[in-house]
A and B are shown apart, each in its own frame.
Chain A
């Protein structure tokens, strides 16, 4: 018997099968619940706990119960290492990791390749390393920026402007986008610098763009939703009419809550909430069970994906041994998860999975394309 994710998602917590009694499969979550990583790990840890309840409710995995331990790493590298050590001491078979490499790397220093770590919400390519049993569950930035560029080319857009800030994510995404976009025949006509998270006034950049001969077909950036909204408003103000294509940061930082200000925006994301899709079932089930919706359904889905990956490896090996499970995760192929079907290409810890391009239409996501 395998693991039927749809049956699990359909489980009713008020009407459970007899509790499984075997030796539990322990999973740890080193979650960053501080103001840094809380946007991802708060919903992710809630969803993970709920998902595990569902699994145990359906009799566990082949009779093996699952046990989740959540440790808050508090956005502090020292605490991260202690939390990781606590999880190791608790004998977990796998650890779900935080979104930022600031804490992901200290975590890996402790697990030291002995226990698999699945970074739930991170898209940082440098965190993926099967040799260290370090895996991403989300697509990485290389994949999402490439997908964005492909999408832009597919739409027939030929010119783009990027907003970037040197370094990972905010700089790396625009860099990859530019590479792929130009290789496909497009032109990036300008790159503007800004300070991620902090800047709230883009009038200088807007005025510079107003002086371009023609506005670009699209603006690509990894900026947060509220920054993109301000930029859009200021560009409108100076009469620059263009499209916006943003990374997954858009959804993570409350893009839809921006309402009118981001109408028409495109962004790359981890899941699409189609009616009847697993993301929606998970989200609705969570809300029904706890009374509150997940703050961000995508991260809930990714957390469930990470657990599904561990279960898949456990089923294939029948082992609780973290090293064995880790080795099996590295070879995962076609694992049914909540956000899609996940496979690790040989030698890579970044999953092959679809990138969903959303467009904000009437304040709600509409699927513009599925890439990969």
Chain B
């Protein structure tokens, strides 16, 4: 095997689409073709039955579909609010216009253009490429800022930064009159030179839909979606959202740039107003009405809003003679519709018409109902590697929160393949210790070493890639991903960063925790016990050296707890991982652990076998004290 083909193989693995090509490659292609066909077919049927204004409407709708699909690539996959995509559109639009408009025209309208741009004359296709390039540079810089600000689902900082971009681009465009023609005239193509015909729009729309749809299935896209659902849980699986968000941003900006250049080309004019607030909100409304997490939704939303707005225009127009409209309704009708659609959808169906539903998943479900004959069974250790000969050890960990000392010189050690418990009364510092190990909390002093690597203070995703993967006390699943996808995401990370450690496949893991039949169910629809089991399977899929479990049985009945003991043991054995488990439930700890550490008021007060710990008077005192509601003061 030559180096080239190896690189190719690596690349295709890199896209994360190798497994299940029907779902990740063929389906999306088929879906995109069908979606595009429906859209264009409907559009052609509409234009065949009316005047030339219908052609204009369809042209504008198809271009808007490109822009909206582009915005969706970022907003949909990452969940980050962006009000700035139309600002990128403005950059692209102006770059395109300044480069593509003929020099003769430019000497009339912007004779003083800087950098000799008045003499430049590029083919529209080349100008579009240049527009993409310039916009990418801007997007990269903004992307760095977004990363630095900790952009994630619902982060206000991202909304502010992107809004700032929109405003700044607008004000620069308004004031840099030498280049942009200024606030009201803008710059325009000489007559007859604007885009006529839709061939290029068809081609670019199809490519945009296809790329956006395929991106959802790529490794980057899926990891970005996981981070969208839960930023911290994603990091704890070894995902670094910054990378994926940046890729999503750049790709989405490319599509928006293409759409914006087309918009300018088709209008024949650009002024600052064309790419500002109104267009931002119209395109966002299209996206949210259709469903921002879905490419099909982006396209459908564009169609629905276009039909609605055009319908309002028709009703308010000269062809409808209803006296009641005259005295009140006509002038603001489209505004009412736009605002009303936004309000209505936000209030009644904020995930949009389609949420994350894609045409191809539905098409595939019609055709391929894959049935597996394998029974549910715990993963067999023989398939898996022997326990790792490594150690997880913390030494002298101290954590201060303000004036409150949460941990003081705490130390635990877990050998490969060993199951170690960590108990202690409420507020003893158990979860804090787990957070220190997981890289969520930085200790004031002390070290945390796993498999000989010092991971003290390392970012959460580095810790996870180093082989320490955790679950969360208050369940943090990737809610709108399916059960299967939750596990797959973790496996994707493991494939790249834990490639030295083979592990059981997704199906085996899901069968191991009894969730295979529910693999198509969204994680947020699972009941409590199943959700806990899914967290275990997801953590295991990351192929850790050590599983860190934070109260895996909290909220479970005794019978479920017993069952959980079994699942934890078999799963850990199957992947050859050591386990550090926190729990209140002494029965559970006694039933599962080889050794137990007891933590009280931030200090380790006892270590030993479960039997030794149960007999230890210090431990009894700590628990009794806590049960008596007693003497301990907490801040």
Contacts and interface: CB of A to CB of B under 8 A. Distances in A.
Q: Do A and B come from one complex?
A: yes
Interface of A: 33-34, 38, 69-72, 74-79, 81-83, 85-86, 88-89, 100-102, 105-106, 108-110, 112-113, 124, 126, 132, 166-171
A108 B278 contact: no
Given A70-B318, A85-B53, A88-B52, A167 B184 contact: yes
Contact of B268 (A38, A101, A109): A109
B183 A168 contact: yes
Top 6 closest pairs, chain A to chain B, by CB: A109-B268, A89-B51, A167-B182, A85-B53, A167-B183, A105-B269
B318 A109 contact: no
B194 A109 contact: yes
A105 B188 contact: yes
Nearest to A81: B56
B51 A86 contact: yes
A34 B334 CA distance: 10
Contacts of A79: 313, 334
A168 B182 contact: yes
A76 B278 contact: yes
A101 B191 contact: no
B185 A72 contact: no
A173 to B, nearest CB: 13
Nearest to A86: B53
Interface in B174-232: 174-175, 177, 182-186, 188-189, 191-192, 194
B331 A72 contact: yes
A71 B182 CA distance: 27
B534 interface: no
12 contacts: A33-B330, A34-B331, A81-B56, A85-B52, A86-B51, A102-B274, A105-B185, A105-B188, A109-B267, A167-B174, A167-B177, A169-B184
B57 interface: yes
A89 B53 contact: yes
Given A85-B51, A106-B267, A167 B175 contact: yes
B47 to A, nearest CB: 12
A276 to B, nearest CB: 32
Contact of B189 (A109, A113, A124, A166): A109
Contact of A109 (B52, B188, B331): B188
B273 interface: yes
A140 B151 CA distance: 50
B570 interface: no
Contacts of A100: 184
A88 B55 CA distance: 13
A165 B177 CA distance: 11
Contact of B186 (A38, A71, A75, A105): A105
Contacts of B56: 78, 81-82, 85, 110
Interface string B315-333: 0111000000000001100
B330 A72 contact: yes
Interface in B261-310: 267-269, 271, 273-274, 278, 310
Given A72-B313, A78-B60, A109 B184 contact: no
Instruction: Name the residue in B53, B268, B273, B310 with the highest tally of chain A Cβ atoms < 10 Å from its Cβ.
Output: B53
B109 interface: yes
A74 B332 CA distance: 9
Contacts of B175: 166-167
Contact of A166 (B182, B269, B331): B182
A132 B191 contact: yes
Contacts of B191: 108-109, 112-113, 132
Nearest to B57: A82
A97 B60 CA distance: 21
Contacts of B177: 166-167, 171
B38 to A, nearest CB: 23
B477 to A, nearest CB: 42
A25 B192 CA distance: 27
Nearest to A168: B184
A69 B267 CA distance: 23
Instruction: Name the residue in A75, A100, A101, A108 with the highest tally of chain B Cβ atoms < 10 Å from its Cβ.
Output: A101
Contacts of B269: 77, 105-106, 109
A33 B326 CA distance: 13
A132 B318 CA distance: 27
Contacts of B274: 77, 102
Given A33-B331, A86-B53, A69 B318 contact: yes
Contacts of B330: 33, 72
A112 B318 CA distance: 23
B188 A71 contact: no
Contacts of B273: 77, 102
Contact of B267 (A78, A101, A132): A78
Contacts of B268: 105-106, 109
A172 B604 CA distance: 78
A126 B182 contact: no
B571 to A, nearest CB: 57
Contacts of A70: 318
A81 B189 CA distance: 15
A328 to B, nearest CB: 20
B459 to A, nearest CB: 44
A314 B55 CA distance: 31
A135 to B, nearest CB: 15
Contacts of B55: 85
Contacts of A109: 188-189, 191, 194, 267-269
A140 to B, nearest CB: 13
Contacts of A171: 177, 182
Nearest to A100: B184
Nearest to B312: A74
Instruction: Name the residue in A34, A75, A109, A169 with the highest tally of chain B Cβ atoms < 10 Å from its Cβ.
Output: A109
Given A112-B192, A126-B109, A167-B184, A77 B52 contact: no
A91 B186 CA distance: 29
Contacts of B185: 101, 105, 124, 126, 168
B318 A71 contact: yes
A78 B188 CA distance: 15
Given A77-B269, A106-B267, A101 B316 contact: no
Contacts of B334: 74, 79
B80 to A, nearest CB: 27
Contacts of A71: 317-318
B360 to A, nearest CB: 30
Nearest to A76: B278
Contacts of B189: 109
Given A77-B271, A77-B274, 12 more contacts: A38-B331, A72-B313, A76-B278, A81-B267, A82-B56, A101-B186, A105-B271, A108-B188, A108-B191, A132-B191, A166-B175, A166-B182
A77 B264 CA distance: 10
A38 B335 CA distance: 14
Nearest to B309: A79
A110 B109 CA distance: 19
A89 B52 contact: yes
B148 to A, nearest CB: 31
Nearest to B188: A105
Contacts of A81: 56, 60, 267
Interface in B236-281: 267-269, 271, 273-274, 278
Contacts of A113: 191-192
Contacts of A112: 191-192
Contacts of B188: 105, 108-109
A101 B274 CA distance: 12
A110 B269 CA distance: 11
B317 A72 contact: yes
B104 to A, nearest CB: 13
Contacts of A38: 331
Contacts of A169: 184
A38 B334 CA distance: 15
A77 B310 CA distance: 14
A105 B184 CA distance: 10
A88 B53 CA distance: 9
Given A33-B331, A82-B56, A168-B182, A102 B318 contact: no
